[in-house]
Amino acid sequence: MTMKKKNENGTPDLGGFNRELSDVVDAFFQSSPIKHFLKQFEELFLQNAEFPYMEIHTRELEEEVLVEASIPAASMEDLDIDITGRTLTIELDHKVFSGADSGRQSIQSTTYSRFSRSVLLPADVNDQMMLTALHDGKLIIRIPKK
């Protein structure tokens, strides 16, 4: 059995190979194309990190079910509302447009994401008579009971 020399941290000593590999990996991630890609990935992640939560409250009233949802900056055209049985699903197509103009070069991008949330309604409803309104980020849905 051959005993290999070990580093201070207990890992095998590979005769400078670890340092060379570390230098190569550092150079790779510091290269211009990779830095640009990582920056765009981070911006995309941070841009969408704010988006994915939709708070929904339901209340059963005497003759209807009232649903209130907090929707991030959106319009009714961005929403798809569906009722199947007692399950209400709200889908939101989220679009973010960004652009930069540096004189000789213009960069524009659009990020699309789709988000949905489903809740169980407290009573059977007549989805054909559903009324919806969106104002200042608050979606109100009124659905008569069956």
Distance (Å, whole) CA 119 – CA 81: 12
Mean pLDDT of 5-26: 68
The answer to whether the predicted template modeling score (pTM) of the entire model surpasses 0.75 is no
State the pLDDT confidence band at 134, using cuts at 50, 70 and 90: very high
Contact at 8 Å (CB) between 143 and 68?
no
pLDDT tens per residue, range 27-79: 777 777 777 777 777 766 655 555 556 889 999 999 999 999 988 777 888 89
Q: What percent of the chain has pLDDT over 70?
A: 76
Look up residue 109 and give its amino acid.
S
Backbone φ and ψ of 33, nearest 5°: -65, -40
Mean pLDDT of 120-136: 94
Q: Which secondary structure element, helix H or strand E, spans residue 100, and what is its range?
A: strand 87-101
Distance (Å, whole) CA 121 – CA 143: 10
